[in-house]
Amino acid sequence: MFESDERHPASLTGLVVVVKNNDVEKAIRILKKKVNDEGILKDLRKKEFYEKPSVKKRRRHAESINRWRKKERMLRDEC
């Protein structure tokens, strides 16, 4: 990312996937799994456009309500 200098030490690293025995398909699957596990695409989509703080607050509140409703449904279905 950054070149090594006093202000930005070269400590930033990206995702690394080693291709073994020219098996690119397997390396791509591993890369996709790493990207998905770290939530990189989800984060990129979230940061693609500016979201006003009030809209962000409403979205988070709606997400929490949906999580609560889902938990309630799961508990009701177990009984």
Give CA separation, 51 vs 45, 54, 55, 72, in Å: 11, 8, 6, 30
Give how many domains the chain has, as a whole number.
Answer: 2
Q: Is residue 12 domain-shared with residue 23, that is, in the same domain?
A: yes
Q: Is residue 31 domain-shared with residue 55, that is, in the same domain?
A: no
Domain of residue 32 covers: 1-48
Contact yes or no for 2/10 (Cβ under 8 A): yes
Predicted structure pTM score? 0.54
Q: How far apart are CA 19 and CA 58, in angstroms?
A: 44
Q: Is residue 3 domain-shared with residue 40, that is, in the same domain?
A: yes
What tens digit of pLDDT does each residue of 4-33 get?
566 666 666 788 899 999 999 999 999 999
Q: Which residue matches tokens 């889902």?
A: 70
DSSP letter assigned to residue 49: S
**Which has the closest alpha carbon to 15: 39, 31, 33?**
31
Instruction: Give the whole-number percent of the chain exceeding pLDDT 90.
Output: 71
What pLDDT, on a 0 to 100 scale, did the predictor assign at position 13? 72
What pLDDT, on a 0 to 100 scale, did the predictor assign at position 8? 61
